[in-house]
Amino acid sequence: MLHAALHRRFSFFTVLLLPLLLISYSNLFAAPAKLTGMGAVPVAVSKGNNHSYTIRVLTMKNGKTLMVDMESMARALRITFRQTAEGLILEESLGKSATLCAISNGNHFVRVTSRHGDVPDRIIQLSSTPLAKQSRIYLPINQGCRLFTLWLNRPVEYNAATGRITASLKAKDVVESVAAIGLIKNEEPRNGNEGEASQRIEQTVINDIKVESRANGAIIELLASGPAAQASLLKPDAQGYTYFSIANAFCKSTALSKRYSSGMVRAITPKYFPGTGSQFTIELDNQAFTINSVDYQYNKKKNSYELYIRSNADVEGIRLKEKEQQIAQVLSRDVAKWKLNTIVLDAGHGGKDPGAIGGNGTREKDVVLNIVHDLGMFIEQKWPDVRVIFTRKDDTFIPLHERGKIANRNGGKLFISVHCNASPNKSARGSEVYILGTGKNKDALDVALFENAVIRQEVDYQTQYKGFTEEHLIMSSMAQSAFARQSTTLAQDILKPVERRQAAQRARGVRQAGFMVLWTPSMPSALVEVGYISNPEEEMILRDRQEQTKIAYGIFQGLQIYRKNYEASAMASMK
């Protein structure tokens, strides 16, 4: 049981939340009021577990064809989207793999890609091109439903008799062969027969071009979808131009045009000839390089056309460059892993738990929330590359065990918890910084007991903290030993600027104690007691808004020292 509890406390995971983008019927028609033949169709969406809802989506008539707005469909299915210069990008995360669906105005082909690269890219071919009207993209309603069906692998269907769309967002249950996923049949009614399908159209599509420079030449890779096509290559002319053609292949000339500032390949210019295919004009630098040969082969496994341009080889140079690339890749991964890119800030107490209360009624929960807000502001202004996560942004009660989980879920690299101290001895004063550990003296134990007492205000706290004994504290401290040195350094760096603002007698140093809020975060963590709210003089300082900002900036200065030394030592260890 202890092993399982520790495993849960120190596991990392991320949760991707899909925004709720439902809009009212009146708002739905506000923007495109100038369009004629406007209307709406209800969409009945089932999410399983007896959870369902109905929402209307925007439609318009294009002649006799009923068209549906793809943005409205995305909203109805609770799918995020964004407009681009070329069209619309939809993004879903209904299953294990998040995918993007790119719809371009005037393009028969819809591209589906994986956000994390864990599933293959797909091309879905439409029987007619999307129609753009007033910054919106429309598809024939049957095609729109079919597109969502094939993309999401969940049934989305339009019933012309009832005038309704039904959709199921439950587990995948659409029975489709892999071959059928790649294209959409023409489902528009013809000759009065609803749903009569035309013959499936199969065409090679060039989706992307990649160039890899080598010490003895270059490799050009044309990534395709659809069936293999006949290709031909013309050898370079005197100016260094070579031409590669693929019969009956489609490509987006503007999107695939590329120019390179260095290397043997200077530029690639595609051109699509309707009914014929695509030609790629490749400009090579035959002045700086001696080109020995140019040939190509089709890679069936990757469905790609690979062109090989060879020049005089420098074997030693090849080995050196490959070694440099390998080292650069390792360094890049390590730097990304250890980069201090997420800091979690925890304002103590909140909601029904006021924390300590000073003699003039100053509440700890209010003071620390202001300090944490200011600290987060300094981090975001000074370090735009660092993400700030707040365990609470307002007067909300957050259980102690949940605060560390918030840090872990968001991939935190540092956890800072801010509190005010209190003591029956009203002369007690000064700031302290704590790290997790068994209490080293009575004062540290007293502070930990006071801060941990809040768990009695949590719902079902007997179950949540069942078995959290002194033995568990020792085990948790041992599990945190991997971060002990960083936590100690962090605490010392935070304390230095605070000490400079205070008289020498007020500096109380770095201590260890068993704070429950520090048990869960799997990262260097520290708890800052910014002063004694029970001391009348310090209470006046702590309740002053300008002083709160100064305290926050003092903590930030400590973080600056820590980050500078941390990243310098991380880089030094990689050399």
pLDDT of amino acid 327: 60
Q: Are residues 407 and 279 in the same domain?
A: no
Does residue 177 sit within a domain?
Answer: yes
What is the rounded CA–CA span in Å between residue 213 and residue 219?
7
Co-location of 309 and 414 in the same domain: no
Q: Are residues 406 and 517 in the same domain?
A: yes
Same domain, 354 and 483: yes
For residues 293-302, average pLDDT: 92
Same domain, 442 and 522: yes
83 three-class SS: strand
Angle, nearest 10°, between helix axes 545-574 and 364-382?
A: 50
Of the CA atoms within 13 Å of residue 287, those in its CB half-sphere come to 4
| 158 in a structural domain | yes
Tokens 């939340």 belong to which residue?
17
Q: How far apart are CA 389 and CA 396, in angstroms?
A: 15
284 & 414 share domain: no
Angle between helices 2-9 and 470-479 (to 10 degrees): 50
How far apart are alpha carbons 437 and 512 in whole angstroms? 5
- Residue 117 phi/psi, 5-degree rounding, is 70, 20
Q: In the numeric block, which tokens belong to residue 30? A: 């506000």
Tokens of 361: 């009624």
In 3D, which of 257, 267, 250, 243 has the Cα closest to residue 206? Answer: 250
Q: Are residues 417 and 563 in the same domain?
A: yes
Q: Which of 194-208, 218-232, 261-275, 457-471 is the least confident region?
A: 457-471
Q: Give the end of a domain, one of 314, 332, 358.
A: 314
Yes or no: say if 95 and 18 are a contact pair by the CB < 8 Å rule.
no
DSSP at 440:
S
The pair of structure tokens assigned to 307 is 């062109």
Q: Among residues of the chain, what percentage have pLDDT more than 70?
A: 67
Minimum mean pLDDT among 227-236, 406-415, 488-497: which range? 488-497
Q: Which residue has the higher pLDDT, 137 or 494?
A: 137
- Lowest average pLDDT, out of 332-336, 358-362, 500-504, 556-560, goes to 500-504
Q: How far apart are CA 300 and CA 373, in angstroms?
A: 56
128 or 227, greater pLDDT: 227
Pair 285, 350 in one domain? no
Domain assignment present for residue 4? The answer is no
Q: Is 367's pLDDT higher than 70?
A: yes
Cβ 402 vs Cβ 346: under 8 Å = no
Q: How far apart are the first and last CA of the chain?
A: 42
Residues 298 and 388 grouped into a single domain: no
Q: Are 63 and 131 in contact (CB under 8 A)?
A: no
pLDDT at 505: 41
**Which three-class secondary structure string do you get for 4-70?**
HHHHHHCCCCCCCCCCCCCCCHHHHCCCCCCCCCEEEEEEEEEEECCEEEEEEEEEEEECCEEEEEH
Buried b (16+ CB within 10 A) or exposed e, 69-103: bbbbbbbbbbbebeeeeebbbbbbebeeebbbbbb
Q: Which two tokens stand for residue 160?
A: 């012309």
Residue 566 covered by a domain: yes
> Are 403 and 528 found together in one domain?
yes
| C-beta separation of 510 from 436 below 8 A | no
Instruction: Provide the mean pLDDT of the chain.
Output: 75
Query: Residue 260: which CATH number?
Result: 2.60.40.3500
pLDDT in tens, 490-548: 777 777 665 555 544 455 555 554 444 455 566 777 888 899 999 999 999 999 999 99
Residue 148 forms part of a structural domain = yes
Distance between CA atoms of residues 519 and 10, nearest Å: 9
Q: Does 307 lie in the same domain as 348?
A: no
Domain count, the chain: 3
**pLDDT bucket at 306, cuts 50 / 70 / 90:** very high
Pick the closest to residue 270 from 290, 284, 251, 248 (CA basis).
Answer: 251
Backbone angles phi, psi at 181, to 5 degrees: -65, -25
Does residue 570 form part of some domain? yes
- Over pLDDT 90: what percentage of the chain? 31
- What's the one-letter identity of residue 156? V
Does 109 share its domain with 217?
Answer: no
Range of the domain at 272: 204-314
Contacting residues for 51 by C-beta, under 8 A, at least 6 apart: none
Q: Mapping DSSP to helix (H, G, I), strand (E, B) and coil, where does residue 518 land?
A: helix
Domain boundary (152, 182, 212) is at 182
Please report whether residue 495 resides in a domain: yes
294, 314, 334 — which closes off a domain?
Answer: 314
CATH assignment at residue 411: 3.40.630.40
Q: What is the DSSP string of 259-298?
A: E-SSSSEEEEEEEEETTTEEEEEEEE-TTTS-EEEEEEEE
Within-domain flag for 305: yes
Query: What pLDDT shows up at residue 27?
Result: 35
